[in-house]
Amino acid sequence: MSELAWHRYGKAAIRLVKIERGGGADRVVDLTIDVQLEGDFDAVYAGDNRHCIATDTMKNTVYALAREGPIESAEAFAGRVAAHFAREPVVSTVKVRTVEQPWGPIHPHAFVLGAERWTTSVTQNAAVAAVTSGVTNLVAMKTADSAFSGFPRDRYTTLPETEDRLFVTAITAEWVHRAGTADFGARDRIRTALLQRFAEHKSHSVQHTLAAMGAAALGAAPTVDAITLTLPNRHHLLVDLAPFGLDNPNEIFVATDAPYGLIEATIRR
């Protein structure tokens, strides 16, 4: 005998592009959207589809809601989608996540895409919605003021101490909006604070800089109560040029993909 212990379903990777026209210049909203439902769907797992909202309907709903009103922000739109499905009787929780491709204008009707992505999630339970915002794939390098020394040494430790290494990371940050607040414009301020602290910090470790970046981000957004930072350490190793009769005064590096350090923490107010 077996039973359902947990379940969730939905549509992932709904690719919505909306051109907000009017005024002199267009605005592009480019979102990849996941909709996930939890609730009393047990009968579906026994073959009864009477309450199984088709994931195709979820997709259609996203496109229709995008047309039925303006998209002021990904957060607001994700909230609108979540609220729609939360009204279904069998649904207990809706989670809507979006990844935004931000297009930079180069002309009133032309745009270029960067590497960075912006994220949002809305989790809606009955009347309450929890909203997060974030950035991801913000790849940054620091060529000075990055040390790593004083760490413990055991029989498996070979890493030399360094006062001056390259620090390369792909910043992923996700922050929680205090209930009832909607400071979705905070992304720009948080992004600036993260990068500025990253650039200026006298780093003793990735962890040390992560904590400073998190504190700076909270300082830039008064209604954000917590921020989670995920910082892979994309190691750039000093190449040993001694076999060729050359020194390497912190100048020539090999960039490596694997393995990588991975540092994650949540900083709260």
List active site positions. Answer: 11, 55, 235
**CA gap 138, 168 in Å, rounded:** 11
The closest of 109, 38, 32, 113 to 77, measured between CA atoms, is: 32
Residues 6+ apart with CB under 8 A from 211: 265, 267
Q: Residue written as tokens 């300082």?
A: 219
Residue 21 makes contact with a copy of itself by CB under 8 A: yes
Question: Of 127, 128, 180, 244, which one interacts with a copy of itself (CB under 8 A)?
Answer: 244
Q: Residue written as tokens 């769907």?
A: 41
Facing residues of 38 across strands? 93
Residue 83 makes contact with a copy of itself by CB under 8 A: no
The answer to whether 171 touches 229, Cβ cutoff 8 Å, is yes
The DSSP 8-state label assigned to residue 242 in this structure reads: G
Please, what is the minimum distance in Å from the beta carbon of residue 206 to a copy of itself?
8
* Binding range to a copy of itself, per CB under 8 A, among 48-56, 72-80, 120-128, 179-187: 48-56
The DSSP 8-state label assigned to residue 244 in this structure reads: G
> CB neighbours (10 Å) of residue 41?
20
* Binding range to a copy of itself, per CB under 8 A, among 42-50, 92-100, 125-133, 181-189: 42-50
Residues 197-226 that bind a copy of itself (CB under 8 A): 198-200, 204-208, 210-211, 214-215, 218, 226
Please, what is the minimum distance in Å from the beta carbon of residue 182 to a copy of itself?
22
Size of the site for a copy of itself (CB under 8 A): 129
Residue 162 makes contact with a copy of itself by CB under 8 A: no
The answer to whether 122 touches 129, Cβ cutoff 8 Å, is yes
Question: Of 57, 72, 163, 222, which one interacts with a copy of itself (CB under 8 A)?
Answer: 57
Q: Is 206 exposed, middle or buried (0-12, 13-18, 19+ CB in 10 A)?
A: buried
Question: Of 23, 24, 126, 154, which one interacts with a copy of itself (CB under 8 A)?
Answer: 154
- The residue among 11 and 131 lying less far from a copy of itself, judged by its C-beta, is 11
Residue 178 makes contact with a copy of itself by CB under 8 A: no
Residues 92-151 that bind a copy of itself (CB under 8 A): 103, 106-115, 138-145, 148-151
- The residue among 182 and 265 lying less far from a copy of itself, judged by its C-beta, is 265
